[in-house]
Chain A
Amino acid sequence: MNNNAQPPVCCDTPGRSLSERIGRDLPRRYRAEKRFRRLGLTAIVVALSFLVFLFGSIIGSGYSAFRQTYVELAVTFDESAFTSENLAAADFPGLVKQSLRTMFPEVEGRAALKNLYRIVSPSAAYTLQDMVAENPKLIGTTQRIWVLADDDVDMLIKGQISGAGEEANRRLKDDQLAWITTLRDQGRIETRFNTTFFTAGDSREPEQAGIRGAVMGSFYSLLITLLLSFPIGVMAAIYLEEFAPDNILTNVIEVNINNLAAVPSIIFGLLGLAIFINFFGMPRSTPVVGGLVLTLMTLPVIIIASRAALKSVPPSIREAALGIGASKMQTVIHHVLPLALPGMLTGTIIGMARALGDTAPLLMIGMIAFIVDIPSGFTDPATALPVQIFLWADSPERAFTEKTSAAIMILLAFLIAMNATAVFLRKKFEIKW
């Protein structure tokens, strides 16, 4: 680089001139080298900062969903409300409204009262109902009960919507804001850990919505996928790697598997809709069909991983087994398969993680319906975790945004756990031959 400092001595001899020319070029070439190196590093930094940005924006908007706002009510279980034998027939919403009216006796007029009632979630009545069903002795007493606040109140308490601005443009009106401030000053509003989110099914009311139903739907679908795709995938890999003769049929199967691994997942959804639902008449929106579609999608992944695992078992193992008189099948089952199994399991877990995150094929087979009940079997209508995320992302309520982000965090936690298991298995059982 300091060649520049040296003045040219002589330019007549051609050798000198060549090294001169090289010397003159060197700074430029080194600069290009440095530039390129920096460019490569920038590319990695840019890619990784996308990752950080993505995680940051999701965690930033989702962590608040793990807490939920509750309001304390003093409910009088008036005996006059429980005249009928059937306790569930009592007017529980009325009890909730009554207690709100006693808390704010100054509120009058239909519109104002309606606003007042909107502070607590409609689920408050069910909370009361459950309490009475569990303990009928409550009738005739007055209890202080924490019930879910409405999602707008929740958003306000968490600071995600503000009470400022034009009243007509706000979800919470001025009188509601005043009541909330009063309740807050009295210590009757607080945020707690959101258990509803983990125990409830879907709901139109954000404060009552949970991911339990979606998680169970994903669980049943993936169970079917695992039970079918692992044995079929492993057996297919064994045949192709250990037994298949080198002929056209084998070639066709191999090309097919490689291509299937790259077919867009939505096409598998079309297959599920046309074949499983329309042709075989299987029930729509159920984990059975979801599981079958995901099986077809996961199979190529598992087959490719299992073949790689079989390929990494050295031939000496096979030769040794054959040498002491084992049959080909015995060699494979007794000696090659156990050595390849960790690799196959790793591939299977990665395939299952992909199946867990996949949404598009499930939309096609109707696992996108609004389902409140938590599925309890393979043929109950269900959604899946990623589909739930999609459904909530489409909901207009502000409170569903944080629920969506929180559901994404749960989904990512599952995926990270699965991939970590795969990495752990690989590290633990990896054999360097």
Chain B
Amino acid sequence: MDFPALLLVLMLLAVGAYVLGARKAMAAAAAGGGIRSLHSLPSHYGMLTAVAAVLPALCLAVVWQAAQPPVLTALLKASLPAETQALSAGEFSLIINDITNVVAGNFTPGADQTVIAEAAQRYMKLQDTSDLLRTGIVLLLAAVSTALVYARITARLRARNIVEGVLKALLIVCSAFAIFTTIGIVLSVLFEALRFFKIVPPHEFLFGLDWSPQMAIRADQTGSSGAFGAVPVFAGTMLIALIAMIVAIPIGLLSAIYLSEYAGERLRTVAKPLLEILAGIPTVVYGFFAALTVAPLIRDLGLSFNLPVSSESALAAGLVMGIMIIPFVSSLSEDVLHAVPQSLRDGSLALGATKFETVKNVVVPAALPGIVGGVLLAVSRAIGETMIVVMAAGLSANLTANPFQAVTTVTVQIVTLLVGDQEFDSPKTLAAFALGLVLFFFTLFLNFIALRVVQKYREQYE
């Protein structure tokens, strides 16, 4: 029985167990003087039996499913002929690869590959045995645990408490997923990054001024020195993020102030959702827009002023990224402006200040921490943004502050290093994880500060 079928059978078993448990509870109630003698509702007894039928069996099935391929491969390796086992690690893994491909039906072994064909046969046989064994053991476990619980059902069994306890445990596991995800991220980038730092020392990576990650295949090859100084990459990221913020902060902040302080109900109901559309557009669409419409526009504009503008200029990518960020800045600052108590505004207006003076001297200073928090969140967004820069910014790492030149960013480098062939023993591939590590911790730092600032600010007026 394969895994989905097994799951289906377990579900059916659960339904059966539910009916059995509920029936027994009803019978116990009838014997003990009516339904009121039961501790819990009959459905709780049913659920308890169903949980007993499924939970242990399901856990076992999942563990088995996860452990099966590595165990089977180990058994297979041991059964291969001695001369095959004596091969180098690389060749050996190729053979294992061939065998799994034969098993999956993607590949038919040639006449001279009897070793592989036989091994595949053996592997399939092992797989069949394992499947059979799993089905038997899982179903047996389900039956035994159902029987155990069923036998213990009495009118005084606290079924509801147990069922609710199990449910609560499930809720806790679900909410722990956030922690698992964070741990997963940290581990995945950290391990590969550490391997990278064994080859390239961290100070060279963090402070080196030369970035050309393509490794030379021949010694005399030029332009592929395999240099991993990430400063130009960081500088490019900062340049594009800076341009984006120069676009987004004034427009976003001014629209937020206008919408929250001046605009009438009608304009607000129209303009706010429209601004939110800007936030909902996928970044790949912005990337296409930047590469196809904005970049040529800027280049032509530059040419008419006799300025040499690269067709992958930082300006185009930064400008479009700024457009994307506008709604973040505006909606975050609007929330913050709303949180400023009306009494502050009233006080200022009563003293004779105009609305602008109230906004400038009272509302914005009062909201400043929240606005700064929102802007920090937007900056972290701009730094981590990928598709716009992949499509509109360049690949060559220039250390420049000229917005008309092409620069590259952390995310662009991660994508280019990891799309295509990956070798997890070359610093080229591992460098992507080192960049990912820097990106993760930098954005984490920004987010942490920003969220803290915004929270502190909210508490101040609550």
Point out residues on A near B: beta carbons under 8 Å.
22, 29-30, 32-33, 36-37, 39-44, 46-48, 50-51, 54, 57-58, 61, 231-233, 235-240, 243-244, 252-253, 255-260, 262-268, 270-271, 273-275, 278, 280-281, 296, 299-300, 303, 327-329, 353-354, 356-360, 363-364, 368, 386-387, 389-390, 393-394, 401, 404-405, 408, 411-412, 415, 419
Contact = CB atoms under 8 A, between A and B. Distances in A.
B275 interface: yes
B172 interface: yes
A222 B107 CA distance: 31
A36 B280 contact: no
A44 B419 contact: no
Interface in B168-183: 168, 170-172, 174-179, 181-182
Nearest to A52: B274
A37 B182 CA distance: 45
B275 A266 contact: no
A40 B451 contact: no
Given A33-B355, A36-B359, A244-B175, A43 B278 contact: no
A354 B279 CA distance: 10
26 contacts: A29-B354, A32-B354, A37-B262, A39-B254, A43-B251, A46-B251, A51-B274, A236-B174, A236-B178, A237-B175, A238-B171, A239-B168, A258-B447, A263-B444, A264-B411, A266-B436, A267-B436, A274-B189, A275-B188, A281-B69, A327-B164, A357-B281, A357-B282, A359-B386, A363-B390, A412-B285
A364 B414 CA distance: 9
Nearest to A284: B422
Nearest to B443: A264
Contacts of A271: 181, 184-185, 188-189
B228 interface: no
A46 B377 CA distance: 22
Contacts of B37: none
Contact of B414 (A30, A270, A303): A270
B258 A43 contact: yes
Report the 8 A-B pairs with minimum CB-CB distance, sorted nearest first: A264-B384, A40-B258, A357-B282, A274-B188, A43-B254, A239-B171, A360-B386, A236-B175
A404 B174 CA distance: 39
B283 interface: yes
Nearest to A232: B174
Contacts of B66: 280
Nearest to A267: B440
B251 A299 contact: no
Nearest to B164: A329
Contacts of B440: 263-264, 267
A29 B387 CA distance: 45
Contacts of A296: 181, 184
A36 B356 contact: yes
Contacts of B172: 239
A40 B352 CA distance: 22
A42 B258 CA distance: 10
- Which among A22, A259, A405, A419 has the greatest number of chain B C-beta atoms within 10 A? A259
A412 to B, nearest CB: 7
A307 to B, nearest CB: 10
Contact of B384 (A243, A263, A405): A263
Given A58-B289, A240-B175, A274-B189, 17 more contacts: A33-B357, A42-B254, A47-B327, A48-B275, A58-B285, A61-B292, A233-B174, A266-B384, A266-B386, A267-B440, A271-B185, A271-B189, A274-B187, A280-B66, A358-B283, A363-B386, A411-B285
A33 B356 contact: yes
A359 B287 CA distance: 11
A37 B258 contact: yes
B50 interface: no
A237 B356 CA distance: 42
Contact of A265 (B164, B281, B386): B386
A357 B278 CA distance: 13
Contacts of A389: 284-285, 288
Contacts of A239: 168, 171-172, 174-175
Most buried by A among B253, B282, B390: B282
Contacts of B191: 274
A303 B380 contact: no
Interface string B266-300: 01000100110110111111111101110000000
B378 to A, nearest CB: 10
B207 interface: no
Interface string B180-218: 011011011101100000000000000000000000000
A267 B439 contact: yes
Contacts of A368: 419
B187 to A, nearest CB: 8
B179 A262 contact: no
Nearest to B163: A329
B6 interface: no
- Which applies to chain A's interface (DSSP): helix, strand, loop or mixed? helix
B393 interface: no
Contacts of B188: 270-271, 273-275
A259 B274 contact: no
B372 interface: no
Contacts of B444: 259, 263
Most chain A C-beta atoms within 10 Å of own C-beta, residue among B160, B181, B257: B181
Contacts of A48: 271, 274-275
Contacts of A231: 174
Contacts of A329: 164, 167-168
A408 B285 contact: yes
Contacts of B280: 353-354, 357, 415, 419
Given A408-B285, A412-B285, A390 B356 contact: no
Contact of A243 (B171, B326, B357): B171
B415 interface: yes
Contacts of B92: none
B354 A270 contact: no
A424 B210 CA distance: 53
Given A43-B258, A259-B444, A303 B178 contact: yes
Nearest to B383: A264
Contacts of A364: 414-415, 418-419
Contacts of B275: 44, 47-48
Interface string B358-383: 01100000000000000001001101
Contacts of A354: 280
Nearest to A32: B356
B56 interface: no
Contacts of B386: 264-266, 359-360, 363
B415 A266 contact: yes
B446 to A, nearest CB: 8
A29 B353 CA distance: 9
B355 A401 contact: no
A360 B258 contact: no
Contacts of B414: 266, 270, 364
Interface in B415-439: 415, 418-419, 422, 424, 432-433, 436, 439
Nearest to B168: A243
Contacts of B271: 44, 48
A262 B175 contact: no
Nearest to B267: A44
A256 B182 CA distance: 7
B315 to A, nearest CB: 15
Nearest to B432: A270
Nearest to B277: A51
Nearest to B273: A423
